[in-house]
Structure 1
Amino acid sequence: MREKFLIRAGVPGDHDALLALWLRSVRATHTFLTAADIEALIPAVRDGALVALELSVLVAGDGALAGFMGLDGAKVEAIFIDPAHAGKGGGTALIAHARQVKGALAVDVNEQNPDALAFYLARGFVVVGRSETDGEGRPFPLLHLAEPTP
């Protein structure tokens, strides 16, 4: 069932709540990561991504933070949806918002996360490349996706 969402710019006061949301989302969706892998990523998310990326926050009808997206230019660096709101149109709303603001988008997806890959493929992205490791050199292959430009 689709939810009604508001999308607003992220602010520094959101960071603690977004980190907690990220943690819930990753634990629910990134089953290829160990608990130690996830714990090791917390500083990079808290001190890097949430500070450096252009954040869009997904707000549910009841005012709860339902998800967020982090952009670096037209590249989607992160979309995380709270498991309580997953499958209700929030990710699609964030992608539509990013397209309106940035035009054609690109994104990297962990190869071991088939649900994320299916999400982006269903929204018109195509695989344009692959890397054996993630951006930090860890053994988590990435698929590079982009939206075809007209």
Structure 2
Amino acid sequence: MQHTQPQQQIYKAAPEDFTALAEVWEASVRATHHFLSEADIQFYKPLVRDEYLKLVEVYYVRDAKGQIAGFVGTADRKVEMLFIHPERRGEGIGKKLLQYAVQELQASAVDVNEQNEQAVGFYEHFGFRTISRSELDSMGKPYPILHMQLP
């Protein structure tokens, strides 16, 4: 008999999940995006919650307590966001969500902050390769972006 933990189920996000998703985004960014200032985090958080999440198809997993543990957002066969709550890192959630995005949603590209070396390594581990680089992020801020694709 196969035992499935609740956090292994993948759910499609709805607008009522956006506040909780933005909280996971903020916790994850604080743990991994050390190059962002507090002002940057405060600038992006309402954009993530109120704008960016509406532009992507979002799927998430819950932890044993029913809290959102991580999520992936895709659009046009591209991973636009993948964030794991720092307390849930190392549990295979990012791998599970990325594999879902690639296999079920046909995602084959991702943009990654060059300074987020853990994320760059994560995507490289799953076969993504850098095909180009932008000096500025999509908001024109000086955070270089690596444009990665599956071969």
1:137 aligns to 2:140 (yes or no): yes
Q: Describe how 1:1-150 pairs up with structure 2 within 5 A.
A: 5-148=8-151
Q: Which moved more, 1:114-123 or 1:57-66?
A: 57-66
Distance in structure 2 (CA, Å) of the matches to 1:69 and 1:90: 10
Mark the runs of 5 or more structure 1 residues left unpaired by the alignment.
Answer: none
Query: Does the CA-based 8 Å contact 1:49-1:70 persist in structure 2?
Result: no
Identity value in percent: 44
Normalised by the size of structure 1, how large is the TM-score?
0.92
Query: Does the CA-based 8 Å contact 2:129-2:148 persist in structure 1?
Result: yes
Deviations 1:22-49 (A, max 9, x none): 1111111100001111111112101111
Query: Does the CA-based 8 Å contact 1:110-1:140 persist in structure 2?
Result: yes
Aligned-residue CA RMSD in angstroms?
1.3
Aligned residue pairs, count: 146
Deviation, structure 1 residue 104 = 4.8
Deviation, structure 1 residue 62 = 3.4
Letter of the 1:127 counterpart: T
- Give the match's secondary structure for 1:103: coil
Distance in structure 1 (CA, Å) of the matches to 2:83 and 2:23: 11
Deviations 1:77-99 (A, max 9, x none): 10010011011100000011111
Query: Does the CA-based 8 Å contact 2:74-2:107 persist in structure 1?
Result: no
Distance in structure 2 (CA, Å) of the matches to 1:41 and 1:62: 27
Letter of the 1:147 counterpart: L
Distance in structure 2 (CA, Å) of the matches to 1:7 and 1:23: 21
Letter of the 1:112 counterpart: Q
Structure-2 change in CA distance of 1:104 and 1:45 (3 Å) = closer
Distance in structure 1 (CA, Å) of the matches to 2:77 and 2:124: 17
